[in-house]
Structure 1
Amino acid sequence: MLSIFLILLMGLAPAVLGSYNCVNVAGRVGCLGHPNRAADVKIQLWDSDALMDRHPLNHDDFIAQTWTNKHGEFGVDGCADDPDIFSGIFGENQPDPYLKIYHKCNSVENEMKRIDLKYWFEPKKQQFDGILYLNTKHNQSLVDIVLA
């Protein structure tokens, strides 16, 4: 009986353990017309659990948080894991990191901007080439180019 239990437990291990990876993001944000509002912007790193988005008990996973310096520069890193429920069928279920950026570029009220990352896991680093202006409309492909 014990051997059957151990075999079942070993068979479920990939689903329980899942994929564990780390990501490191660095960059600079700005506010057109209000450069001083790029300081102390809250940056959060999250892992999307999109496979079961519509499930009421499913929540994205918070990874890490930081604030920009007086020049709008930031760096945030952390690790996440996603269970491999269908391991071997659909490939590895990697964490899907994204940024939530809480800013006041347009008003004194906090606004949230979500930036999905085309990412590499460490040791590579996600870095902005330039300034991501928070009070402009971004085409998703433009954001992907900026982040890649």
Structure 2
Amino acid sequence: MFCAVVAWLLFLLMPFCCREVSGKTKCAQAIGVLDCPSDPKKAADVEVYLMDDDGFLNPDDTMGWTTSNEKGEFTVQGCGYDLWSLPEPYLKILHFCGSSSEKVLKTPAKYIFRPHTIDYGIISLEGN
């Protein structure tokens, strides 16, 4: 009986021990241009994080991060791992556009992975 219980527990824990068996690692790259119409300088040197949305109970993972250049342009890339599903990449942008205090802009998740690129186009920071 004891051996059967141990064998059953090992069977249940196997997916958590062996990532290669069921986990999915995917890499993503995102590009875009940040825009702050009220103060264009506030679109430069902005922190842009490529995140993996892990749901309510699990904190989101940082896949990669960068800062925008003087024109507000950015390219960020990284990889994410999820045990039961594909990573859900989204951008988290920390900025001061239209405010003296830091604001966070979160984009919707997009399921586009390398070799393709997620092109966000122009992202307006004003009011976000």
TM-score range with shorter-chain normalisation? 0.7 to 0.9
Equivalent residue for 1:120? Answer: 112
Q: Which residue of 2 aligns with 1:94?
A: 86
| Aligned equivalent of 2:62 | 62
Report if aligned partners of 2:26, 2:79 keep a CA contact under 8 Å in 1.
yes
* 8 Å contact kept, 2:51–2:60: yes
1:12 is aligned to: 14
1: CA distance between counterparts of 2:18 and 2:90? 23
Q: Quick one: which amino acid aligns to residue 41 of structure 1?
A: V
The answer for the alignment partner of 1:71 in structure 2 is: 71
Match of 2:40 among 35, 41, 52: 35
Secondary structure at the residue paired with 2:100? coil
Aligned residue number for residue 22 of structure 1: 27
Aligned residues: 119
Question: CA RMSD, aligned part only?
Answer: 2.3
- Normalised to the residue count of structure 1, the TM-score between the two structures is 0.71
Structure 2 distance, partners of 1:14, 1:108, is 45
Partner Cα distance (2:54, 2:110) in 1: 16
Separation of aligned partners in 1, 2:27 and 2:73: 21
Asked whether the 8 Å contact 2:66–2:75 carries over to 1, the reply is yes
- Percent identity between matched residues is 34
Greater share of strand: 2
* Unaligned segments of structure 2, at least 5 residues: none
The alignment partner of 1:128 has SS state of: strand
Residue pair 2:98, 2:127 contacting (<8 A) in 1 also = no
